[in-house]
Structure 1
């Protein structure tokens, strides 16, 4: 049997076809537009997601016996607000995770409702990208649209709804809405009241591997699939990527160097750090995870290389970088504001320490190191909770750079395990579909069976020591700059 994983990303949908054995048969990507109607706003049309996913599934399964497709699972960009009216029409473009318009609403939640209450209700505090502040923004700024809302859902759940008719979400993705009681894996009645919505407007909650329905007959006919194809709830992109990298069970770590950057630590136990600097979310394996999320990671390098240097040859830009731990230039990677651990949408990117002998390579090196230092900030919060991490898996586009992996290993003093296959959320979605269809007993089993480590980047004690001194200086830059932001 075959399983499809759909990773609904910010710039494209990536679809993956997997056999029951874990063999990847095909991968297809389909891009769609991203809209910035005002500075700091970020929106997409949900219909684009559905159309490109349908196109992608046709292309993905060309040349196979389509009757053998058993299940479809998802990984999806988190936090986005999708609203439907009584006719099931999208009311307004989806407001995305990297949208910064909700400063007032975020402040209201954190300062007026209060961080202590939010943490008690949801295990998290408000961040500008979360869904609840978006709902409050819509209520205040678009009251006519707000009054039309019948269904509130997350991006990947819109796909599940269009494919199956099931109004659903999973607990890992719902954890990023600021509407879920994470510890008890249920909606928070207090947050529903604060946002001025009703329980009926929110989807039914599932675990990530659970079947939410079957493919609509007319879509099955269009795709050439059986109408018995199971639609599985799926997971938020980071939890899905963690499944795809085998970061399941207790005390596992994964670092993702994608558009955004994350450090993801799985845990059997529910836990919250004192300052809510890390997100405390449900995991797709039925347990929990802590996550630090940087809004700009590999996107910093993309911006620097393509917009500033005018090149897409990242390897050529990194080739001259030989001396690590001695760069005198620093970069604060806050091009879109920052989430973990600063929670400051006004933070901005900064180069610091340039002199007349600073080279292009020094600046490139500073960008890569700045992202690694930013991830280390979140790791330090986890360490403050007594969590001991000695090694991490790594995924995302940035993980293709040997230099960046070496920096991560030495700046964070972690062994960095490189996987044979690294396909992130799309693979995780397919694996969740396989569990939902009964091919594997649980997520932990498939996660450990289908992931294979082929290389480990070891930290070097002398370099760790050099980077420790650089990191301590990096730590001083943000609080010094903060009043200027």
Structure 2
């Protein structure tokens, strides 16, 4: 019995096929090889085509089949993980009405801020566990205000994973976890937020049918099954945002357990059993994959928008003809602290942990006679690690104090230098696993289809491959404190610029 997992990322789509009995991966494929484009029509905007995701999904599934390591007829369930917070709009014929406004798009901040003020800050935080900020509900409000002709045609709103499930099954569903990540869910009332819907003037008919996260969300149609060489009637039995799914795939399910990832964005994600929130919404709280009304499991999420994206940017500009591994080797030639070079890694949209400020990437203390390509590569990784430390300190303020962090050996954690720098910066050991979002989605499908009796049972085969401890006597605390001073000065400068703009 096989399980197929789909991971809809910002950069590409990855598909894996997993044997449900052994929990071993039989095949994986990623499409495209190069990074998918992000459409940015204005500063701070970020869009992608949902139809592009669907085409990439089909290509990746066919590439998996082409490996010849399994019989596609044996696939029994499908799971989907997806980039969080994106807004997808379809009409009554399930046709996409516009590009998706994706997670790192900043245009809707003012709409969320107005809702936060109108609903009341304390009520928003205690019921939504977040400010509406720049999440999916605020993005929909932007469309309503700025593209009324499109808004008038909307039949259903969706997140990216809901859209791919719709293309596979023809059914449109959502879950409590998905509603919470869009800031549509009231945790005190255990249902759709009347405050959010009323303030923005949204019709409840726009919201899809709400299903349990681990449950059938429709079955594969005959037409799609034929085109993808799968059996008709296979259920899509699991859908979750990429960070809850990453936590699931690392068996991070219980209060106090913490996961991290450093792909296009960087995330630390911890589980709590309390309806907790940050007074400034610098970190955000959503329903975790195993959250129920009776047994609360909340995911506390810190997000840094531009981690892997900054590393890619540095490679394109300073190392276009070398591999990431070669970049890492060059970075190792430079001492800790990059001979004074400091980088603020905030160039991929408004940063929630910085109160939704558009800070940008900043290089500090460049010495034209000293610093070279290798210094850039190391300072990028150190700047990202410092951003993680800054965010983790916010999580600590809110009661999340991890003694160990689990991560998949993927993306930036493939770099031994970055992994050690992350540990030295945060002071927390990291356990690395052969974890993959598409594999997690496949095993999630096994839970939703009843093949596994519990999430814990689905990950009994998970193996720890490495533990990284802080190096005794390392001097990274000094590097971090210097970096933090530069960030705080930049935030003051950004506030002054905003104030000057308001006075004009």
* TM-score bracket for this pair, using the shorter chain length: over 0.9
Greater displacement, 178-187 / 393-402: 178-187
Matched, 1:2 2:11: no
Distance 1:477 1:111 in 2: 31
Distance 1:19 1:179 in 2: 36
CA displacement at 1:67 relative to structure 2: 2.0
Greater displacement, 69-78 / 380-389: 380-389
Distance 2:23 2:289 in 1: 18
Matched, 1:467 2:481: no
Distance 1:216 1:306 in 2: 42
Distance 1:248 1:124 in 2: 21
CA separation of 1:462 and 1:252: change in aligned 2, threshold 3 A: same
Q: How is 1:398-413 mapped onto 2 (pairs within 5 angstroms)?
A: 398-413=412-427
Matched position secondary structure for 2:103: coil
Match of 1:450 in 2: 461
Matched position secondary structure for 2:473: helix
Matched, 1:71 2:77: yes
CA deviation vs aligned residue, 1:23-51 (integer Å, no higher than 9, x gap): 10111112354323333322222222223
Distance 2:336 2:187 in 1: 41
Preserved contact between residue 245 and residue 289 of structure 2 (Cα < 8 Å)? yes
Matched, 1:223 2:228: yes
Match of 2:403 in 1: 390
Preserved contact between residue 172 and residue 282 of structure 1 (Cα < 8 Å)? yes
Preserved contact between residue 182 and residue 280 of structure 1 (Cα < 8 Å)? no
Distance 1:267 1:8 in 2: 26
Preserved contact between residue 127 and residue 339 of structure 1 (Cα < 8 Å)? no
Matched position secondary structure for 2:432: strand
Preserved contact between residue 251 and residue 267 of structure 1 (Cα < 8 Å)? yes
CA deviation vs aligned residue, 1:93-146 (integer Å, no higher than 9, x gap): 111112222243233234454433322331111333x11121111111111111
Preserved contact between residue 14 and residue 426 of structure 1 (Cα < 8 Å)? yes
Output the aligned Cα RMSD: 2.0
- Between Structure 1 and Structure 2, how many residues are aligned? 479
Matched position secondary structure for 1:341: helix
CA separation of 1:114 and 1:329: change in aligned 2, threshold 3 A: farther
Match of 1:317 in 2: 327
Matched, 1:370 2:383: yes
Matched, 1:45 2:57: no
Distance 1:106 1:188 in 2: 14
Match of 1:339 in 2: 351
CA displacement at 1:430 relative to structure 2: 0.5
CA displacement at 1:19 relative to structure 2: 0.6
Match of 1:439 in 2: 451
Match of 1:282 in 2: 287
Distance 1:33 1:457 in 2: 34
Match of 1:159 among 161, 164, 187: 164
Match of 1:86 among 88, 92, 114: 92
Matched position secondary structure for 1:92: coil
Distance 1:190 1:203 in 2: 18
CA deviation vs aligned residue, 1:173-219 (integer Å, no higher than 9, x gap): 33221212246653211111122111111122233322222111222
Matched position secondary structure for 1:346: coil
Preserved contact between residue 129 and residue 275 of structure 2 (Cα < 8 Å)? no
Matched position secondary structure for 1:292: strand
Matched position secondary structure for 2:310: helix
Distance 2:329 2:77 in 1: 43
Matched position secondary structure for 2:354: coil
Preserved contact between residue 121 and residue 191 of structure 1 (Cα < 8 Å)? no
Distance 2:186 2:427 in 1: 34
Matched, 1:300 2:310: yes
Distance 2:490 2:272 in 1: 34
Matched position secondary structure for 2:104: coil
Matched, 1:146 2:151: yes
Distance 1:472 1:110 in 2: 33
CA displacement at 1:311 relative to structure 2: 3.9
Match of 1:127 in 2: 133
CA deviation vs aligned residue, 1:428-467 (integer Å, no higher than 9, x gap): 21011011122211113323x132101101112301xx22
CA separation of 1:87 and 1:288: change in aligned 2, threshold 3 A: same
Greater displacement, 467-476 / 157-166: 467-476
Distance 1:327 1:422 in 2: 34
Match of 2:363 among 342, 347, 351: 351
Preserved contact between residue 5 and residue 72 of structure 1 (Cα < 8 Å)? yes
Match of 1:30 in 2: 31
Matched, 1:360 2:361: no
CA separation of 1:137 and 1:340: change in aligned 2, threshold 3 A: closer
Distance 1:55 1:326 in 2: 42
Distance 1:304 1:59 in 2: 30
User: Taking structure 2 as the reference length, what is the TM-score of the superposition?
Assistant: 0.90
CA separation of 1:312 and 1:226: change in aligned 2, threshold 3 A: same
Preserved contact between residue 285 and residue 444 of structure 1 (Cα < 8 Å)? no
Distance 2:447 2:139 in 1: 33
Preserved contact between residue 279 and residue 290 of structure 1 (Cα < 8 Å)? yes
Matched position secondary structure for 2:446: helix
User: Taking structure 1 as the reference length, what is the TM-score of the superposition?
Assistant: 0.93
CA separation of 1:115 and 1:307: change in aligned 2, threshold 3 A: farther
Distance 1:338 1:51 in 2: 29
